[in-house]
Amino acid sequence: MARRNVTGAGIVLLVASLLSAAAFGGPASAGGLDDARSRGKLLVGVKTDFPPFGYLDPAGKPQGFDVDIARYLARALFEDEGRLELVPVTSGSRIPFLYS
């Protein structure tokens, strides 16, 4: 029951974040979802220096809440978690990645 409430709260937070980003984010690039679909995979930048939201596990793979949300979105978009490509970023490098 508690996990269900946490998952529901996380989804509400994600939707609220996406709506506020859409409202205040300025002009978006044309075809974000269309680009992902034509590319055949979802590219998601995840922080690797901000646990529990994003960190590297002992094997060097990104883990955390942001990674879980990215997997959920890949399943919703492609019905396949394998079509997700995680791009590790740090808090200092994420802004330059957005401009490249």
Tens digit of pLDDT for each residue in 55-95?
999 999 999 999 999 999 999 999 989 999 998 888 788 77
CATH of residue 57? 3.40.190.10
Contact (CB, 8 A) for 25 and 69:
no
What residues make up the domain containing 94?
Answer: 27-99
If one counts the domains in the chain, the total is 1
Length of the chain, in residues: 100
* CA–CA dist 72, 50 (Å, integer): 20
Tell me, yes or no, whether 62 lies in a domain: yes
Q: Tell me the pTM.
A: 0.63
Does residue 43 lie in a domain region?
yes
3 lies in some domain = no
